[in-house]
Chains A and B, each alone.
Chain A
Amino acid sequence: MNQIGSVVKVEGLTRRFGDFVAVDGINLNIGKGEIFGFLGPNGAGKSTTIKMLCGLLLPSSGKGSVGGHDIMTESEEIKKNIGYMSQKFSLYDDLTVEENIRFFSGMYGVRREKRKERMEWALEMAGLKERRGVMAGTLPGGFKQRLALGCAILHEPPILFLDEPTSGVDPLSRRTFWNLINKMSGSGTTVFVTTHYMDEADYCHRLALIYRGRIIAEGTPMELKERFMKRHVLEIEVERMVEALDILEKKGVDAAIFGSLLHVTVEDVAQGIADIRRTLESSDIQVDRIEQIVPSLEDVFVTLIEVA
């Protein structure tokens, strides 16, 4: 990660919709070539933030720049230097793969002599060479998303904004996708990506967690895990999970469901294991397994939200 100055820098970025404050005075500072992850649950303000950075939405207040251009006054300059991929597929369903690519290469003003090469590159990257004549609307989700990415980077923008690029995409396609993002970051592209998949956060160089319009934590994935998880995480396997959760929460224990398991946070591991076993078994709930685990970012997030 070669951080030469900041590519995205905002202070006090705020957006209100009537009385509702969607984004509440956030600060960001992102360097060149960084993959910056913007994490948070649905409705936390991720999309609103990304739209303000792309010049699609005017901030209510705050200041800053993207690629050296002012976010309040130079949105059209910003648009020359970015690629944007929206949360919802927003290419033309009634145009073929190739027609979409050609159209956007025109919109981005890709020079005539480079156009052919860039279009072929996008088709190759998206794995759509065989399907160039297919209507975009009929593509499966993973291909749609890669086509959208291809269209957004036809002009080789130095900054890329991706809004939930992997939502609704199968795990294999997600992996391919992240490999691609990594490659682009390696060649100097700054990537700002939002996601609500916590497991994807580990692909990012740096993260900000946003909750109810505010950034509640920021740092590298490792830093976040170390700094914010002073407490230890126990993973519990029980039969009657929901009931167990209920009992633990009544006792004041920090617990949450993770798939088919319960995660609880405790101050002391040995003491915690003993306490939880006793509590659950006194309610006739069989504990099949209980052990300490390395916290995931999701654990970090759950803990932070409970504090916030």
Chain B
Amino acid sequence: MLVNVQVQAPPDGQGRLETPPPAPAVEAHQLSMWYGQAQALFGITMAVPRHHVTALIGPSGCGKSTLLRCINRLNDLIDGVKVAGRLRVAGTDVYDPATDVVTLRRRVGMVFQKSNPFPKTIYENVAYGPRILGVTRRVELDEIVERSLRSAALWDEVRDRLHESALSLSGGQQQRLCIARAIAVEPEVLLMDEPCSALDPAATAKIEDLMTGLKERYTIVIVTHNMQQAARVSDFTGFMLLGELVEFGLTRDLFTTPRDRRTEDYITGRFG
């Protein structure tokens, strides 16, 4: 079954959306994806608003991480993947053969479930991307490293140990370092795949606070199993089930007045 889900003000105007949604940073239109013969995504249509946090929720295997990984073509690394439909990031067709994947991945940063700092110093982790993009002047790199670490709310904790190994940091600090590394190349979209699932509540709270600040400059798409987290941090939420996007809308509406029975059953914990 194909679904067509878009954010729009309902005709009754029950205070759902006072202003039109911002221009989309990521747009999917009838996006389907197959792993070999197995179809994983079914006709996803959605518009992810710019400079907001959008959460994708749904049970395990619903396709939310698959959808996330389509946005920076991380699924290309898997053999036998086939994609149909259209996906655009800030107007660029992600799956156009002419699209340069390296450039795309600079524009679309990603943070993973398990923090994965390079076995290098804290400084080098953040400077790595800008160096590859050709930044060589030390002063400029210093500036980028400090700005990125400040944006990731890590600067005050590491400013005196920039040249120590990143692996000496705690789990929460490592995850914020990965965020700093991702934003050092000034992406337009930041993808987060279960970024807090390995963190304790205090470290989780820091990352969540961070997202609220980061959305002023970046568009964030987060996949999370934690519905409370989706409710806390996101402005928009999409609920996925069996590879379909069942419902997409303002987070406050989706968590109080979902339109689809399947969404209601999932978020009230009535799905087995």
Bound pair (A, B)? no
